[in-house]
């Protein structure tokens, strides 16, 4: 039986801020398993409120914040580590300097991660896989959101291939069926657009590569409910049932006129767009029949949280994969990480670095600080930072990838204080301080010796840092002393003051 941390709360929650709907799901952990105790869903349609300049309209912003405040009433009192909130396609696109995200986090009472499309796909598969019977067959999972569609091929609990396509029920409804009007020409145009979007990855996701097709998300569940209620499919969704459904919409001419009792009023405004996307997926990937899962991204978030409670953090596996893929010196990375964490432990209180995430970030950065050597020794800290900022890192949000990238870029040479300026005040301060600890740990292991370092003390108050070494140690290590002198100059230019004895 998996063991959970006894200090961790029994109640956890996941918040999915999609382009079409917002979801809150709350669960209790019973004997290492999840028991769902609460669900809240609201069709916020955030994607419909995104302007061409990538700004949210006042109406969509206010509606989103209103529902986040309601979610906040349910989860605000839960510990930070017990709640995972993520934003997907629309929030990936918003360009307002982080203003809405800060308002949203204040309303919810918890941090909100913006996740990349492929990370969204991974979490979708994790949720869906937990709802399927155990088996070794290869599965295609399709999830249609408001602004993006995720395709995943996996086996068991492991996703193998992941892709996020820029099409969804909201975006296609706005583009091809404005005001709910449905014509044959518009439907044909939407199908062609969908197939063009899929075309670059079609070869990798067609029926040659999987044995079972599974759909998730509200769009696909709604289509299943309609075709089964109409008697067009006995189970799941078939290609023939989709054809009949498209014909019914075109003949009605408008989504409000079509007589489909199983279609909810909330779903009607984006139904035609979702149907077009799913039809394009069926055609492009040669799907004849699709099963439908009631689990999706939010359940994936819960299982990810449960995994971290049981000490299975997917980000640790991602870092280990990078270490192996780029042939990093593992022993050196572990030496630097151990020293960095020792320094962190000594300054945690005075530098307000008590949050567990600080230790995780510092350890990951230490293990990956030489990542850029795979490209070139010259400026390798910048090469490593670029990889970390832009790579597909399973388990990492965009924000955490950005922080990890900054730490690696800042670990040597001049202290790049402007690199942190666009971060919020508290995050900027903590990230700068973690960068300093990493710089000192790397400096102390510059010789790459397997011999252990002596006990090194550190005191930190504001911008002042004091290192203390055993008596006579610095005198017997003149290169380290010279490195410290140069580092003191680098830090002083960045507004920090290092002394040592």
Task: Report the share of the chain in percent with pLDDT over 90.
Answer: 89
**Segment 32-44 mean pLDDT:** 93
Q: Where are the domains of the chain?
A: 11-114+300-307, 132-294, 313-453
Residue 77 makes CB contacts below 8 A (sequence gap 6+) with none
pLDDT for position 1: 37
Lowest mean pLDDT among 84-98, 107-121, 300-314, 435-449: 300-314
Predicted confidence band of residue 308 (pLDDT cuts 50, 70, 90): confident
How wide is the angle at C-alpha 407 spanned by C-alphas 404 and 408, nearest 5°? 90
- Distance, first Cα to last Cα, the chain: 51
Asked if 11-114+300-307 and 313-453 have one fold, the answer is: no
Beginning with the edge strand found earlier in the chain, give each strand of the sheet holding 457-461 in spatial order. 457-461, 464-468, 497-500
pLDDT exceeds 70 at position 7: no
- What span, in angstroms and rounded, lies between the C-alpha atoms of 364 and 45? 37
d(CA 97, CA 89): 17
- The string of pLDDT tens digits covering residues 53-105 is 999 999 999 999 999 999 999 999 999 989 999 999 999 999 998 999 999 99
Architecture of domain 132-294: 2-Layer Sandwich (3.30)
Q: What percent of the chain has pLDDT over 70?
A: 98
Q: Which residues contact 442 (CB under 8 A, 6 or more apart)?
A: 336, 366, 369, 411, 412
Contact 29, 306 (CB under 8 A): yes
Task: From 17, 219, 205, 216, select the one nearest 115 (Cα to Cα).
Answer: 17
Q: Is the pLDDT of residue 413 over 80?
A: yes
Return the structure tokens found at 23: 């979801």
pLDDT in tens, 445-501: 999 988 878 889 999 999 999 999 999 999 999 999 999 999 999 999 999 999 999
Task: Say yes or no to pLDDT of 27 above 80.
Answer: yes
Tens of pLDDT, residue by residue over 194-247, are: 999 999 999 999 999 999 999 999 999 999 999 999 999 998 999 999 999 999
Work out the number of other CB atoms within 10 angstroms of the CB of residue 385. Answer: 26
Q: Is the pLDDT of residue 124 over 70?
A: yes
Per-residue pLDDT, 57: 97
Whether the per-residue pLDDT at 2 is higher than 50: the answer is: no
> Are 162 and 115 a contacting pair, CB within 8 Å?
no
Domain 11-114+300-307 has CATH 3.40.640.10: no
Domain 313-453 has CATH 1.10.3210.10: yes
- Nearest to 5, CA basis, from 59, 81, 78, 108: 81
Alpha-carbon gap, residue 463 to 421, rounded angstroms: 16
């Amino acid at each position: 039986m998996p063991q959970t941390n006894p200090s961790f709360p029994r109640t956890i929650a996941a918040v999915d801020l999609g382009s079409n709907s917002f979801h809150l799901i709350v669960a209790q952990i019973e004997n290492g398993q999840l028991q769902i105790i609460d669900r809240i869903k609201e069709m916020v349609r955030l994607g419909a409120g995104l302007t061409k300049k990538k700004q949210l309209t006042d109406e969509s912003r206010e509606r989103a914040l209103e529902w986040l405040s309601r979610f906040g009433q349910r989860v605000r009192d839960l510990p930070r580590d017990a709640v995972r909130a993520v934003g997907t396609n629309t929030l990936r696109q918003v360009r307002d300097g982080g203003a809405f995200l800060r308002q949203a986090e204040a309303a919810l009472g918890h941090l909100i991660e913006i996740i990349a499309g492929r990370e969204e796909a991974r979490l979708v598969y994790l949720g869906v896989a937990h709802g399927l019977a155990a088996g070794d067959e290869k599965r295609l999972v399709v999830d249609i959101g408001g602004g993006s569609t995720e395709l995943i091929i996996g086996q068991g609990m492991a996703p193998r291939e992941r892709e996020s396509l820029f099409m969804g029920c909201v975006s296609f409804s706005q583009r091809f069926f404005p005001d709910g009007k449905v014509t044959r020409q518009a439907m044909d145009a939407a199908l062609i657009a969908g197939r063009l979007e899929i075309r670059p990855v079609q070869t990798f996701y067609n029926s040659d590569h999987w044995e079972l097709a599974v759909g998730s998300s509200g769009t696909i569940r709604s289509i299943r409910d309609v075709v089964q209620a109409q008697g067009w499919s006995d189970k799941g969704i078939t290609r023939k049932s989709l054809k009949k459904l498209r014909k019914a919409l075109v003949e009605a001419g408008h989504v409000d006129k079509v007589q489909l009792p199983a279609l909810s009023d909330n779903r009607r405004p984006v139904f035609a767009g979702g149907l077009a996307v799913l039809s394009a997926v069926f055609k492009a990937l040669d799907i004849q029949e699709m099963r439908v899962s009631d689990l999706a991204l939010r359940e994936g978030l819960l299982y990810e949280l449960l995994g971290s409670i049981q000490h299975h953090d997917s980000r640790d596996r991602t870092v280990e994969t990078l270490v192996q893929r780029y042939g990093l010196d593992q022993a050196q990375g572990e030496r630097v990480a151990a020293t960095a964490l020792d320094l962190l432990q000594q300054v945690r209180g005075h530098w307000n670095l008590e949050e567990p995430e600080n230790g995780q970030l510092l350890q990951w950065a230490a293990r990956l600080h030489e990542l850029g050597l795979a490209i070139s020794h010259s400026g390798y800290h910048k090469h490593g930072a670029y990889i970390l900022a832009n790579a597909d890192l399973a388990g990492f949000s965009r924000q955490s990838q950005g922080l990890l990238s900054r730490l690696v870029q800042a670990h040597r040479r001049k202290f790049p204080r402007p690199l942190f300026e666009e971060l919020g005040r508290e995050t900027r301060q903590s990230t700068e301080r973690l960068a300093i600890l990493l710089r000192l740990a790397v400096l102390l292991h510059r010789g790459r010796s397997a011999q252990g370092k002596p006990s090194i003390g550190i005191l930190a108050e504001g911008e002042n840092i004091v290192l203390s070494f055993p008596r006579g140690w610095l005198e017997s290590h003149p290169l380290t002393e010279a490195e410290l002198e140069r580092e003191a100059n680098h830090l002083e230019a960045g507004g920090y003051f290092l002394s040592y004895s």
